[in-house]
Amino acid sequence: MSNPLLDFSDLPAFDRITPADVAPAIDTLLERANAALETVTAADFPAQWNAIAQVLDVATEELGRAWGAVSHLNSVADTPELRAAYNEALPRVTEFWTRLGADERLYAKYKAIDPASLNAEQHQALKNAVRNFVLSGAELTGADKERFAQIQERQAELQQKFSENTLDATDAFAYYAGESELDGVPDDVRQAARAAAQAEGKEGCKLTLKMPCYLPVMQFATSSALRERLYRAYVTRASDQAEGDGKRFDNSDFIREILALRQEEARLLGYVNFGEVSVVPKMAQSPAEVVGFLRDLARRARPHAEKDVADLRAFAADHLGLSDPQAWDWPYVAEKLKEARYAFSEQEVKQYFTAPRVLAGLFKIIETLFEVAIRRDTAPVWHPAVEFYRIERGGQLVGQFYLDQPARTGKRGGAWMDDVRTRWLRPDTGQLQTPVAHLVCNFAEGVDGKPALLTHDDVITLFHEFGHGLHHMLTQVNERDVSGIGGVEWDAVELPSQFMENFCWEWKVLQHMTAHVETGAPLPRTLFDKMMAARNFQSGMQTLRQIEFALFDMLLHTEHDPAQDFMPLLGLVRSEVAVLQPPAFSRTAHTFSHIFAGGYAAGYYSYKWAEVLSADAYAAFEETASEDGSPSQETGRRYRQAILEAGGSRPAMESFKAFRGREPSLDALLRHQGMA
C-alpha cells in the first residue's frame, strides 16, 4: 500500500524509494494517465480547459513527478538495480508521452475550446499545445500522414547512425607515439597515454582523438609533426577524407538523406524549408532574422578577430620561430601567447573560493536583488551531503530546492537544474502548488577537514544553474505548462542562467565572496585583473568561429538544395566569416552532432542569441549600479517581475521589452567580451 512513488502529498520520499517500487508505480500511473486520456477524449466530454486539466493534467503531472524522481535518482544515486528498473520502464513512459503529443482526439478537443473562456496564461498554454500538435503532423491526413510518420522514424535511425559513426571514427584512431615525440605535453596526459598503451601490451604512449588527450596535445606538444598527424585525423573523422579504412565511417550520405527528409517534412507541414519549421516555437521570428543577426554580429566582431590573428602571427614569428603557422599550429601558438600574457594559476585562484563562502555570497545577491529570504529546511534526501532550502518572501513560502554539490560515485557528471514540481494553481484542489527544484553540481570535496575549494569555472557553473533555478522558483504564473521555464522559447531559456554568470566577473561581488582557505584574505585585485584580461582572450576569433557554425547550420536548412553537395556551402560560409581558412581537407560538418544528431538543427544560433539577451539584460544593472558598484534593487525588482516571474506566460520578446523598454541590442555582449 505504501509505494513511496505514489505518495504525492508533499515532497518525494527520496529516502524510501527503492528500485522495486519503480515498475509497479509506473504501471499504476500509466494506467491512470491512459484512462484520463480516454476520459477527456470521449465524444461527450466537455471541451473546457479546466475540465480537461482536472482529469488529464492531474494524471500526467503525477506520472511526470514520479518519473522525475526515478530519473533523478538514476542520475545522482545510480545502482545496477535502479538502472535496470529505470531502463525497463523508460520505453513505456516515452511511448506514452509520444502518443499523448500526437493524439488527434485530444487535438480536436483543444481546438474546440472557446478562447473567450480562458485567462491570459491559459490562452498561451493552449496556443503552445495546439502549435506542438500541428508540428507533430496532427493536421495531416491520408498518405501525407503516413509519409510524415515514416520520415520521423527514418530520421531517428539516421541520427543514431550519424552519432555512432562519429563515435566509432573517433574511437578507431590511435597513434602510438614515442616518448621523445611528446615534448611539452603535460605529465598527467602523458602518463594516461602511457598507461593506455601498456594496457594493450604496446610500446610508447597511446594518443587518441578524445578531448582529454587531443586538446592538450594540440595546445602543448612542441612537435608540429605530431600535432599535424592528430589534426588531420581529427578534422577528417567520419568523412570521405578519412585516412585508410576510416572511410567506412563516412557520414556524407547520412547528412544528405537527413537534409532531404527535413526538407520533405517542412513541405508536408506547409513550409518552404526546415529553417522555417525550426523557428516556429522559438523567439526568433524567421530564418532571415537569424541570418541577419549572425551577419551583423560577424561584421562587428571581425576587426577584433583580425587583431587576434595578427597578435598570434606576430607572437609565432617573434617567439616561436613560426613564420607561416598552419592550422595545427594555431592552438599551440594561442596557448603560448596566453601563458606569456596572463600567467596565473587556477590552483592559486581556487584557494580563495571556499564553497560555503561562495554559496553565502550567491544567496546574498539573490536575497538582495530579488527580495527573498533563503533558509535551511528539511526534507527526505538521497544522500547525507544533500542540503534542502526554502525561499520566502514576507514570511510566505515561494519555492524550495535541493542542493547536491559534491561529486561522488554513482552520480552523473556535469551540473544541472531540474524541476521536482512546478508552480500550479491545481485545478483538482484549488490549492496553489509551490515550485521545487533540484540544483546539482559536481564539485571536489574538501580535504583534511577544510571546506571544498571551487575553481572560478565551478563558481560560474553554480551561478548559471541557480539562474535556471530562480526562473523555475520565482515564477508567479499559476498555469502549469507556462509557469517558470515551462513554455519558454528555447533560444531564450538560457537568458536567466547566463545572466547570473555576470556576477562572477564583478569585483564588488567577488571581494565579498572570497576568503583564502588559510588566511581568510579576499581575492587580491591583481589576480582578479589577470582573470579579467584572460576572460576575453581571442574573443573575436571565438565569436566568428561560433558564427561560422551557426550561419552554416541556418543556410544549410534554408537556402541549400539537399540534392546538391553541401561542401561548397561550407566553403562559402568560411570565406565569408572565418579569419583563418581551414585546409581544403577539413570536414568538420561531418561530425557536427548538434545539428545532425541532436536537437539543434537550424537552432545552433541559439547560443549566441541567448548570450546577447543575457548580456543586454545585465547591462541594465551596470547602467543603474550605485557609485560603489552595488546593483540597484529597483532594477532587480523589474528584472524579477518582467523576466523571472512571467516565465513562459508570454513571448520572450515581450518579457524582454517589458524589462528593457526596447528590443535586444548587441552592444553589451560586444563590450563584455572586449569588442566594444
Q: With contact defined as beta carbons under 8 Å apart, do 649 and 123 qualify?
A: no
Q: Measured from the CB atom, is 469 or 651 closer to Zn ion?
A: 469
Strand 416-421 versus strand 396-406 pairing type = unpaired
Q: Please, what sign has the CA dihedral across residues 37, 43, 46, 48?
A: positive
Residue pointed to by grid coordinates 565511417: 249
Shortest distance (Å) from residue 618 CB to Zn ion: 15
Closer to Zn ion by CB, 122 or 497: give it: 497
Per-residue cell: 54: 482536472
What long-range pairs does 185-193 form, CB within 8 A, spacing at least 24?
185/216, 185/217, 185/220, 185/221, 186/216, 186/220, 189/213, 189/216, 189/217, 189/220
Q: Could you tell me where the DSSP H helices lie in 411-491?
A: 456-473
Grouping H, G, I as helix, E, B as strand and the rest as coil, residue 389 is strand
CB closer to Zn ion, 207 vs 460: 460
CA distance linking residue 421 with residue 147, whole number of Å? 37
Nearest one of 496, 533, 492, 503 to 621, comparing CA atoms: 503
How would you classify residue 98: left for phi > 0, otherwise alpha for psi between -120 and 50, otherwise beta?
A: alpha
526 by Cβ neighbours in 10 Å (0-12 / 13-18 / 19+) ranks as exposed
d(CA 490, CA 17): 33
In 188-325 the beta strands, taken as DSSP E runs, fall at: 205-207
CB of 203 to Zn ion, least distance (A): 44
- Between CA 250 and CA 241 the distance in angstroms is 8
- Which CB sits closer to Zn ion, 219 or 461? 461
Tell me how far, at minimum, the Cβ of 465 lies from Zn ion, in Å. 7
Which helix (H) or strand (E) segment holds residue 404: the answer is strand 396-406
Which residues in this chain contact Zn ion in the complex, by CB under 5 A? 497
Nearer to Zn ion, 190 or 471 (CB): 471
Minimum Å gap between C-beta 31 and Zn ion is: 35
**Cβ-based nearer residue to Zn ion, 275 or 496:** 496
C-alpha cell at 202: 604496446
Contact 656, 620 (CB under 8 A): no
Strand partners, 374: 391
- CA gap 256, 363 in Å, rounded: 50
Residue 187, CB-side half-sphere exposure with 13 Å CA sphere:
0
Count Cβ atoms below 10 Å from residue 441 Cβ, excluding itself. Answer: 19
Question: At closest approach, how far in Å is the CB of 586 from Zn ion?
Answer: 30
Q: In 3D, which of 47, 36, 45 has the Cα closest to residue 96?
A: 36
Which CB sits closer to Zn ion, 216 or 496?
A: 496
Which residues does the annotation mark as catalytic?
465
- CB-closest chain residue to Zn ion: 497
CB 90, min distance to Zn ion, A: 24
What is the closest distance, in whole angstroms, from the C-beta atom of residue 495 to Zn ion in the complex? 10
With respect to Zn ion, which residue has the nearer C-beta, 427 or 469? 469
CB of 302 to Zn ion, least distance (A): 28
Q: Which is nearer to Zn ion, 497 or 538 (CB)?
A: 497
**Least distance between Zn ion and beta carbon 466 (Å):** 11
